[in-house]
Structure 1
Amino acid sequence: MDNRTNLDDYLAGLGISDADESALPPPAPDAAPVSAPLPSTEEDPRVVLERFLHELIARIDPSLKVQVRDTEDALEAEISGENAGRLAGRDGRTLGAIEVIAYAVLAKHAGRGDLRVRVDVGGFRKRQADTLTKLAERLAIQVAKSGEAHELQPMPPAERRVIHIALKENPDVMSESVGEGAARRLIIRPRHG
């Protein structure tokens, strides 16, 4: 399977193609100049991610800020500023593309394909996680009352993870992921004790 084809397909699914490069606006006149390409030697992953995101947002909106922190299981970046929320794109698709590219940059330039990358813009992921947690709680009550399992629509791994975590300690229900690839979905079942 060709990684370039997969990335091209992913970007095309987001409505972005090689032809769109000419449609990109030039960097803002007061934008910081883009530095030389990232070196291909292994570097601190946090520094690589921070530099990549700074250079990316400098071309989009120089007023945006980036903060990267290292957690126990991932590198987490927060892009903030007045118009940061617009970077999420429709249903978080642009944000997802930024994460995929950031992961590829880390794998190539920091030699770390084992690190997870989570990027949030303007609190989009936090609001999404809060909404999914509330959904999980409502469905847990419904499943506990009815005694019947509830199957959700296919969703990305990060969204399933939020629901799994929300229901982990629930004494009445349990959650499990079933299916493969893009069709992987979550089922909430009564906990039999």
Structure 2
Amino acid sequence: MKNIMDKKTNLDDYLADLGISEAEDEAPTRKAPSRPEAIGKTAAPEEPLVIVERFLHGLVTRLDEGLDVRASEVEDGIEAEVVGERAARFAGREGRTLSAVETLAYAVLTKHTGRSDVRVRIDAGGFRRRHAETLAKLAERLAVQVAKSGEPHELQPMPPADRRIMHITLKDHPDVMTESVGEGSGRHLVIKPRHAS
């Protein structure tokens, strides 16, 4: 199988392969407000939410016309969900497609705004929500085991977002604490007793 990365050098090449031209990945321009009280209340053309929503809408509708995107601003960035009858398929195996699309959306956002402080999180068909619930339940089960045995438990390496879910789940647990150890793709979570016996 030919590796698409071999000949691609920048984001514009990837977008072109997806059928998204430079003009189409631009944020839409807004009409000038007609009422005096509306002046200053319109979104700027480079607003992060508009950029991400437009990019994702263009991408998902090219892949499947039955899909759409709902995006909103949250405290630390932008959350978007791919919706539609076959949205869950968009997540890909173990959420890898979602992670790749998040990376692309973040790159488009950074390219257009110059900002790198806006997080982009994308879900499809509730995949991330269900995955987070599964991780939280796992963290709670392992916390009980660690508290009972008094021995730390090391998990397999996992993505930062997954480690974060487990850290948050157990941050106020009275008997255990969590720590991320390792480097790069080998970084993993350790659940250990809060109070040494």
TM-score (norm 2): 0.79
Q: Does 1:121 align with 2:124?
A: yes
Q: Structure 2: give runs of 5+ residues left out of the alignment.
A: 8-12, 28-43
Aligned to 1:141: 144
Aligned to 1:78: 81
Secondary structure of 1:189 counterpart: strand
Alpha-carbon deviation of 1:18?
6.7
* Separation (CA, whole Å) in 2 of partners of 1:183 and 1:141: 25
Aligned to 1:131: 134
* Separation (CA, whole Å) in 1 of partners of 2:95 and 2:140: 23
Change (3 A) 1:184 1:107: same
Of the three residues 105, 108, 113, the one matched with 2:111 is 108
* Kept in 2: contact 1:42–1:110 (CA 8 A): no
The residue type equivalent to 2:90 in the other structure is: L
* Kept in 2: contact 1:42–1:109 (CA 8 A): no
* Separation (CA, whole Å) in 1 of partners of 2:145 and 2:56: 42
Q: Does 1:94 align with 2:97?
A: yes
Q: Does 1:47 align with 2:34?
A: no
Q: Once the two structures are aligned, what percentage of the paired residues are identical?
A: 59
Q: Deviations over 1:118-173 (max 9, x none)?
A: 00000000010000000000000000000000000000000000000100111010
Alpha-carbon deviation of 1:73?
1.1
The residue type equivalent to 1:54 in the other structure is: H
Aligned to 1:36: 23
* Separation (CA, whole Å) in 2 of partners of 1:43 and 1:17: 29
Change (3 A) 1:16 1:135: farther
Secondary structure of 1:62 counterpart: coil
Larger Rg: 2
Aligned to 2:38: none
* Kept in 1: contact 2:61–2:68 (CA 8 A): no
Change (3 A) 1:83 1:18: farther
* Kept in 1: contact 2:48–2:109 (CA 8 A): yes
* Separation (CA, whole Å) in 2 of partners of 1:166 and 1:152: 15
* Separation (CA, whole Å) in 1 of partners of 2:61 and 2:6: 20
Alpha-carbon deviation of 1:110?
2.2
Aligned to 2:188: 185
Change (3 A) 1:66 1:126: same
* Separation (CA, whole Å) in 2 of partners of 1:16 and 1:161: 31
Q: Structure 1: give runs of 5+ residues left out of the alignment.
A: 1-11, 28-32
TM-score (norm 1): 0.81
